């Protein structure tokens, strides 16, 4: 199967960040050529100056929580947590599946092709990933046994999941850790050993709230990054979500360890956890930055376009400096930065010959994106676009949405089964 995309603005996100006008030829799951494509293809997409960007990469979410959107808004953090836990503990496998399907559908519609998920029951979420055509880096959440609702030991469950999904298309199994507040040193080091032996990503919440930092200081005598570094946990296979309450020393440690971060600006602002991730300092220290939406109870959206813009606004406003984080950098975080964070930078994150065909096409005629010229293209994507501009999406060489019609999922039935599950859950 081959696909030709013709006459597009191509925001390649290659090393030179070239923006080209031309065609893309996809053969099977791979980008075969970029420029002028003379041969015909099985599927012809006339882009007619539409804007083509790499499929977006959401590096921190809990997709199945899409079902619980809007159930715990405008609450103090402790009330928020108890409300979410009370729903979460009542969820059946059917609820998790319908929530994950709804999340995948929302991600397709907003131009995401790869997401990193942190949850239990990742085997069920893997089902949703397989049917939706997305790529999922699925991190089974490990925590101390006394803190979990999982049946059996979390690390054993994680191992079993990683073993059985080792060679499944578009699924990257990985090790998740809930965070320092429910994970002992032994839990961290056992998870680390398993991940390193099997070359798996380690993904975890880090310094989201000031309370979590202060509690750890009382328990272990050090701040989270210092503690995790002290037990030999941090490394380049680590992806830390939030990383909002950090000292400059902690930022330097992350840089030295090669640990990536997933910043979640909307979630942090909505929960009013107060910390603003020190992104400029991270970039100075060589930390690879990517962006996550977090789950639908804290955002309440999986829209990476909204997230890129919000991140830019938050950092500029916080620093009283409009030159902090340029549009190009914000797009980098959601594409090649995301790919680097999950160790897939040689296969996804940019539009280059030989890479996987993960591509998002935006409506170049949309009023909110115009006038569109080479010089304002990236700015308009970041500051003027919306997920509604996403017209066609290709993941791994397969069209997941074409001209706003989702091809991989029955949209109506996904939404109605999510509604049914949500109603039962809220009763
Ligand atoms: Zn989270």
Distance 295 CA to ligand 1 centre (A): 6
pLDDT value for 427: 82
User: Which 3 state secondary structure label does DSSP give 423?
Assistant: helix
The stretches of 235-376 forming alpha helices (DSSP H) are 248-257, 265-270, 279-284, 304-319, 327-334, 336-341
How does residue 351 score in pLDDT terms, banded at 50, 70 and 90?
very high
Distance 61 CA to ligand 1 centre (A): 6
How does residue 272 score in pLDDT terms, banded at 50, 70 and 90?
very high
Chain mean pLDDT for the chain:
97
Distance 10 CA to ligand 1 centre (A): 32
pLDDT value for 78: 85
Give the Cα separation of 242 and 33 in Å (integer).
Answer: 37
What sign does the dihedral 65-193-346-379 (CA atoms) show?
positive
**147-166 mean pLDDT:** 94
Distance 103 CA to ligand 1 centre (A): 14
Distance 32 CA to ligand 1 centre (A): 36
Could you tell me the CATH superfamily of domain 2-55+357-406?
Urease, subunit C, domain 1 (2.30.40.10)
- Which residues of the chain are in CATH 3.20.20.140 domains? 56-341
Distance 126 CA to ligand 1 centre (A): 18
User: Which 3 state secondary structure label does DSSP give 272?
Assistant: coil
Fold of 56-341: TIM Barrel (3.20.20)
User: Which 3 state secondary structure label does DSSP give 85?
Assistant: helix
Show the CA angle centred on residue 266, arms to residues 261 and 270, nearest 5°: 125
Give the Cα separation of 343 and 116 in Å (integer).
Answer: 12
**134-162 mean pLDDT:** 95
How does residue 270 score in pLDDT terms, banded at 50, 70 and 90?
very high
Give the Cα separation of 340 and 204 in Å (integer).
Answer: 16
How does residue 164 score in pLDDT terms, banded at 50, 70 and 90?
very high
Distance 184 CA to ligand 1 centre (A): 19
pLDDT value for 88: 85
Give the Cα separation of 238 and 343 in Å (integer).
Answer: 10
- Which residues of the chain are in CATH 2.30.40.10 domains? 2-55+357-406
Tens digit of each residue's pLDDT (9 = 90 or more) over 54-86: 999 999 999 999 999 999 999 988 899 899 988
Tens digit of each residue's pLDDT (9 = 90 or more) over 191-233: 999 999 999 999 999 999 999 999 999 999 999 999 999 999 9
What sign does the dihedral 249-258-207-183 (CA atoms) show?
negative
């Amino acid at each position: 199967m081959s696909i030709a995309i013709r006459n597009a603005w191509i925001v390649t996100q290659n090393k030179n960040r070239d923006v080209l006008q031309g065609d893309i030829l996809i053969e099977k799951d791979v980008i075969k050529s970029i420029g002028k494509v003379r041969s015909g293809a099985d599927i012809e997409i006339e882009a007619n100056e539409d804007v083509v960007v790499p499929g977006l990469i959401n590096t921190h979410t809990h997709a199945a929580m899409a079902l619980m959107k809007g159930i715990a808004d405008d609450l103090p953090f402790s009330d928020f947590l108890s409300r979410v836990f009370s729903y979460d503990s009542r969820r059946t496998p059917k609820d998790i599946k319908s929530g994950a399907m709804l999340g995948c559908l929302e991600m397709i519609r907003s131009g995401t092709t790869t997401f990193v998920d942190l949850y239990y029951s990742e085997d069920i979420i893997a089902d949703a990933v397989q049917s939706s055509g997305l790529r999922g880096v699925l991190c089974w959440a490990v925590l101390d046994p006394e803190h979990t609702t999982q049946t059996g030991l979390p690390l054993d469950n994680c191992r079993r999941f990683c073993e059985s999904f080792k060679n499944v298309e578009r699924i990257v199994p990985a090790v998740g850790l809930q965070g320092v507040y429910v994970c002992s040193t032994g839990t961290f080091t056992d998870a680390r050993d398993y991940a390193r032996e099997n070359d798996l990503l380690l993904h975890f919440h880090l310094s989201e709230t000031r309370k979590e930092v202060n509690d750890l200081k009382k328990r272990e005598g050090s701040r989270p990054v210092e503690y995790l570094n002290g037990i030999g946990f941090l490394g380049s296979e680590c992806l830390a979500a939030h990383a909002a309450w950090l000292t400059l020393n902690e930022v330097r440690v992350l840089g030295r360890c090669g640990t990536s971060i997933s910043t979640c600006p909307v979630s942090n602002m909505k929960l009013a956890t107060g910390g603003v991730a020190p992104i400029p300092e991270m970039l100075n220290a060589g930390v690879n930055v990517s962006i996550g939406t977090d789950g639908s109870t804290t955002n309440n959206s999986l829209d990476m376009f909204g997230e890129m813009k919000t991140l830019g606004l938050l950092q500029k406003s916080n620093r009283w400096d409009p030159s902090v984080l340029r549009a190009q950098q914000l797009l980098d975080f959601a594409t090649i930065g995301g790919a680097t964070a999950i160790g897939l930078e040689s296969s996804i994150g940019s539009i280059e010959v030989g890479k996987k065909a993960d591509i998002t096409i935006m409506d170049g005629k949309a009023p909110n994106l115009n006038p569109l010229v080479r010089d304002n293209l990236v700015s308009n994507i970041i500051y003027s676009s919306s997920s509604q501009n996403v017209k066609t999406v290709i993941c791994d060489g397969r069209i997941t949405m074409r001209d706003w019609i989702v091809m991989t999922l029955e949209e109506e039935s996904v939404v109605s089964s999510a509604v049914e599950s949500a109603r039962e859950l809220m009763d």
